[in-house]
Amino acid sequence: MIRHSRGSRSFRVAFLGGLLALGILLIACCAVTLSLSRSISKVTSTSSSSAPTMPTDPHSAMLAVAVSPEKQALLQELAGRFNDRRLHTPDGKVMTVEIRAMDSQTMLDLALRQALAEGNEPAPIQALNPDSSLWLGQLDRTYAEQVGAGETIAPRIIADTVRYAVSPIVIAAWEPVARDLGWPDRPVGWRDIQRKARADPGFKWNHASTSHASGLLATLAEFYAGAGKVRDLTVEDVQAQQTLDYVAAIEHTVRYYGESETAILERARAEGRQFLDAFVVQEQMVVQFNREHPPERLIAIYPVEGTLWADHPLALLEQPGPTANQRRTFQAFREFLLSPEVQRQVLAAGYRPADLSIPLDGKGSPLTAANGVDPTQPQTTLQIPGPAVVSVVQDVWWYTKRHTNVFLVVDASGSMRGEKLEAVQQALHVFLDQIKGDRERVGLIVFSHQVTYIEPLAELGENRIQLEQAIDRVQAGGNTALLDAVRTAYARLRRLGEADRINAIVVMTDGKENASGVSLQALVEEIQQGNQAGPPVVIFAIAYGRDADYDVLRALAEASGGQVRQGDLDTIRQLYKVLSSYF
């Protein structure tokens, strides 16, 4: 067990020094994280990135770095300061760093595609800065599988790496909720979250899906807790029925899953406690939220069973090869990030710096009780398990997680003819592809002037093929009976009344409601009353194109505790992909 005394420097030495000396995270990087490997396993995998290509100058000293969104502001500022120094390479080129924000999966897709691309096209990015080293190992593994067949030593994409900031994964709870859970009088853990959710049907908490670092790291922590360990987690531990039962008991209290921490915090800012009571994020994001002086504080709860860390590695891409000057720029930027002045700025941004000589509780540190965090925590740091364990955890999560009943409600009115309908059909296939578990129930409702087709709700192990075929058969024509279609889906889910599952509707329209028998007011009231009386049905809505009835969709989403997004031809597939992470 790795335990650390309150406020001790040995804690940070054990964590950061242990990472560097033992390479714990880099070992775990090789894990076969199934959902991620599937998403980046082919060159043809789609990406929302439209980053411009780099100059063709073989002596270029400009380094483009893909950065996860939560670090964008900090890295933009640091890159600007670095660029202001006007450092030169031996041949007179000015070293510059450009920051390009994108989610971790998008940057992995982009890195793999450019590494496997044929020809001599310049690469859009030369370095990555995701939220966890787990993704770097997955990238290397996927690349090796495609190009390294028969080679004794597997080829790699990742070259040099550096960690300049870390942040523990915590459960963020509104202060009254945290106090109700037992904070600060006693340590709080996963069991407390489970008990609260079981005792209070109105309690809402979540962690992101395991395709996001915080979600995967939180899930690993739950498996550790279930096994009663803090290190040396084995495949046998993970597959033990006692562990699976423990994790399933916690996971089945999740209100719904979700996307990135950035998206979660945006909704928390906008909706406060109406959104969620508690959610998993990095400690740094609790600091960031509370520094904005919200009406109510978030409190970082460090699970008593132990926690894992986001280590934010900056990594140089070996494939396709950067120029010699880009390597020099990477090295210079690396040294800049580790300089004492920048390390203090990293702390000022709410991260824990890599420089062990900088006190976390010193003057000016934002890691304070006023910002809802405790620099002496966590008392227990969990060990990143080995590759086989991470693989099994991400696989069996689909069986321990809270399962779903979700209806896809699709507009097939006349305005959807042609390219629009083709884009939606592709997006629906993406949605289904992202849901790996066969126990999730999915149904399909197609509407135009009325509901024209219903594929009944069933587990994907039984109806995945039928859904795929039904999606391909959708044809456009007629008016827009949006409200009738949503009501049909809602009524079917309410009749099931399954409290142990996430009950949801994902609805898309590109036009104005003009053909329903039910009014918006009547449907909103029906949704509000129904959700109060029984298991809630959450509506996620997509307003597709400029003519979509955004106000109607927003009213439906807000009545159910869901959300509405706006999309177009370029973003519709990504929107469906994002929403699939909630289930």
Q: What is the pLDDT of residue 384?
A: 86
**1 assigned to some structural domain:** no
Work out the percent of the chain whose per-residue pLDDT is above 70: 90
The residue type of 16 is L
Q: What is the pLDDT of residue 151?
A: 65
Q: What is the pLDDT of residue 138?
A: 83
Q: Is a pLDDT exceeding 70 seen at residue 489?
A: yes
What is the average pLDDT score of the chain? 89
Encode pLDDT of 545-571 as tens digits. 999 999 999 999 999 999 999 999 999
Region 75-80: mean pLDDT is 98
Contact 544, 427 (CB under 8 A): no
**Higher pLDDT residue, 236 or 53?**
236
Report how far residue 507's alpha carbon sits from residue 314's, in angstroms, rounded to the nearest whole number.
39
Q: What is the pLDDT of residue 71?
A: 94
Q: What is the pLDDT of residue 200?
A: 94
**373 assigned to some structural domain:** no
Strands (E), 57-113: 62-67, 96-101
**466 assigned to some structural domain:** yes
Q: What is the pLDDT of residue 28?
A: 36
Q: CATH number of the domain that 547 lies in?
A: 3.40.50.410
Retrieve residue 75's tokens. Answer: 């890295």
Region 111-138: mean pLDDT is 89
Region 221-241: mean pLDDT is 97
**4 assigned to some structural domain:** no
Q: What is the pLDDT of residue 553?
A: 97
**Higher pLDDT residue, 470 or 38?**
470
Q: pLDDT band for 108, please (50, 70, 90 cuts).
A: very high
**232 assigned to some structural domain:** yes
Instruction: Examine the domain organization and report whether 268 and 176 are in the same domain.
Output: yes
DSSP of 417-457? TTHHHHHHHHHHHHHHHH---TT-EEEEEEESSSEEEEEEE
Structurally, the chain folds into a number of domains equal to 3
Q: pLDDT band for 149, please (50, 70, 90 cuts).
A: low
Retrieve residue 391's tokens. Answer: 């693989």
Instruction: Examine the domain organization and report whether 243 and 389 are in the same domain.
Output: yes
Encode pLDDT of 21-31 as tens digits. 334 333 333 33
**524 assigned to some structural domain:** yes
Q: pLDDT band for 111, please (50, 70, 90 cuts).
A: very high
Q: Is a pLDDT exceeding 60 seen at residue 433?
A: yes
Q: pLDDT band for 85, please (50, 70, 90 cuts).
A: very high
Region 279-303: mean pLDDT is 97
Q: Is a pLDDT exceeding 80 seen at residue 331?
A: yes
Q: CATH number of the domain that 38 lies in?
A: 3.40.190.10
Instruction: Examine the domain organization and report whether 478 and 536 are in the same domain.
Output: yes
Q: Is a pLDDT exceeding 50 seen at residue 322?
A: yes
Instruction: Examine the domain organization and report whether 13 and 141 are in the same domain.
Output: yes
Region 502-531: mean pLDDT is 97
Could you tell me which residues come within 8 angstroms of residue 15 by beta carbon, excluding any fewer than 6 positions away? 166, 309, 381
Q: ∠ CA(400), CA(405), CA(406), 5° rounding? A: 125
Domain end among 373, 399, 425:
399
Q: What is the pLDDT of residue 56?
A: 66
Instruction: Examine the domain organization and report whether 145 and 178 are in the same domain.
Output: no
Q: What is the pLDDT of residue 5?
A: 35
- Print the domain residue range for 407: 403-580
Instruction: Examine the domain organization and report whether 261 and 317 are in the same domain.
Output: no
Q: What is the pLDDT of residue 141?
A: 85
Encode pLDDT of 307-320 as tens digits. 999 999 999 999 88
Q: Is a pLDDT exceeding 80 seen at residue 580?
A: yes
Contact 251, 275 (CB under 8 A): no
Q: Is a pLDDT exceeding 90 seen at residue 9?
A: no
Report how far residue 136's alpha carbon sits from residue 321's, in angstroms, rounded to the nearest whole number.
17
Q: Is a pLDDT exceeding 70 seen at residue 4?
A: no
Q: Is a pLDDT exceeding 90 seen at residue 150?
A: no
**149 assigned to some structural domain:** yes
Instruction: Examine the domain organization and report whether 443 and 552 are in the same domain.
Output: yes
Region 130-141: mean pLDDT is 89
Q: Is a pLDDT exceeding 70 seen at residue 285?
A: yes
Instruction: Examine the domain organization and report whether 141 and 200 are in the same domain.
Output: no
Instruction: Examine the domain organization and report whether 417 and 493 are in the same domain.
Output: yes
Q: Is a pLDDT exceeding 60 seen at residue 53?
A: no
Encode pLDDT of 370-389 as tens digits. 999 999 999 999 998 877 78
Instruction: Examine the domain organization and report whether 481 and 349 are in the same domain.
Output: no
Instruction: Examine the domain organization and report whether 417 and 552 are in the same domain.
Output: yes
The residues with which 269 forms a beta bridge, in sequence order, are none
**315 assigned to some structural domain:** yes
Strands (E), 114-224: 127-129, 158-163, 165-174, 205-206
Instruction: Examine the domain organization and report whether 566 and 486 are in the same domain.
Output: yes
